[in-house]
Amino acid sequence: MISAVPLEWVLILASGLFCVGLFGALSRRHAVSMLMGIELMLNAVNINLVAFWRYTQPDEVGGMIFALFVIVVAAAEAAVGLAMAIAIYRTWQTVNVDSVDSLRG
Amino acid sequence: MDLVVQIMFGVTGLLILGAAFMVVSVRNIIHAALWLITCFFGIAMLYLLLQAEFLAIVQILLYIGAVAVLVLFAVMLTRQIDDPDEPVLFQRWRSTLLITAILFAAVLVPTIYNHNWLIFADPQPAFAGPRELGFAFMNAYLLPFQIAAVLLLAALVGAIIIAMEDQEQRRVRVLTLAEEVALRGEREPSPPTRPANPQPASSSSNPTPPPAPEQAGEGA
Amino acid sequence: MYDNYVFLGLFLIAAISFPVLPLIVARLIRPKRPTPIKQSTYECGLEVIGDFHVQFKIQYYLYALAFVIFDIEVVFLYPWAVAYPELGMPALFAMLIFLAILAFSLVYDWRKGALEWI
Least confident of B30-34, B140-144, B191-195, C11-15: B191-195
Task: Please count the other Cβ atoms lying within 10 Å of the Cβ belonging to residue B174.
Answer: 11
pTM attached to this predicted model? 0.80
**Domain-located, residue A100:** no
Q: What is the ipTM of this complex?
A: 0.92
Highest mean pLDDT of the ranges A10-14, A50-54, A85-89, B193-197: A10-14
- What would be the CATH architecture of the domain defined by B1-80? Up-down Bundle (1.20)
Coil vs helix vs strand at A28? strand
Contacts of A among chains (3+ CB pairs under 8 A): B, C
Four-residue CA torsion sign, B143, B149, B153, B155: positive
Coil vs helix vs strand at B31? helix
Name residues of chain C where pLDDT drops below 70: 1, 43, 45-55, 118
**Does the distance separating the beta carbons of A79 and C65 come in below 8 Å?**
yes
Q: Is the pLDDT of residue A41 over 70?
A: yes
pLDDT at B211: 45
Tell me which of B203 and C59 has the higher pLDDT. C59
Residue of C nearest to B50 (CA): C2
Mean pLDDT, chain B, rounded, equals 78
* CA dist., res. B122 & res. B102, Å (int): 36
Tell me which of B146 and B193 has the higher pLDDT. B146
Query: pLDDT confidence of B174, banded at 50, 70, 90?
Result: low
Domain encompassing residue A56: 7-93
* CA dist., res. A73 & res. A64, Å (int): 14
Which 156-215 residues of chain B touch chain C by CB within 8 A?
Answer: 156-157, 159-160, 163-165, 167
From residue B108, give the alpha-carbon distance in Å to each of A18, B24, B46: 10, 20, 20
Q: Is the pLDDT of residue B5 over 70?
A: yes
User: A24: which chain B residues are within 8 Å (Cβ-Cβ)?
Assistant: 20, 23-24
Exposure string of C84-108, with b = 16+ CB inside 10 Å and e = fewer, is beebeeebeebbeebeebbeebbee
CATH code at position A47: 1.10.287.3510
**Does the distance separating the beta carbons of B156 and C68 come in below 8 Å?**
yes
pLDDT at C88: 84
Task: Name the residue type at position B54.
Answer: F
Query: pLDDT confidence of A99, banded at 50, 70, 90?
Result: confident
Contact predicate A48/A22, CB 8 Å: no
Residue of A nearest to C1 (CA): A1
- Return the CATH number of C4-111, one of 3.40.50, 1.10.10, 1.20.58, 3.30.70: 1.20.58
Question: How many structural domains is chain A composed of?
Answer: 1
**Does the distance separating the beta carbons of A82 and C61 come in below 8 Å?**
yes
* Percent of chain B's residues with pLDDT above 90: 29
Helices (H), C30-88: 36-39, 58-87
Helices (H), chain B: 2-25, 29-49, 53-58, 68-77, 93-102, 109-114, 130-138, 142-163, 177-185, 202-205, 212-219
**Domain-located, residue A102:** no
Contact predicate C32/B134, CB 8 Å: no
pLDDT at B153: 92
**Does the distance separating the beta carbons of C72 and A83 come in below 8 Å?**
no
Each domain of chain C, given as residue ranges in start order, spans 4-111
User: C75: which chain A residues are within 8 Å (Cβ-Cβ)?
Assistant: 68, 72
**Does the distance separating the beta carbons of B46 and A47 come in below 8 Å?**
yes
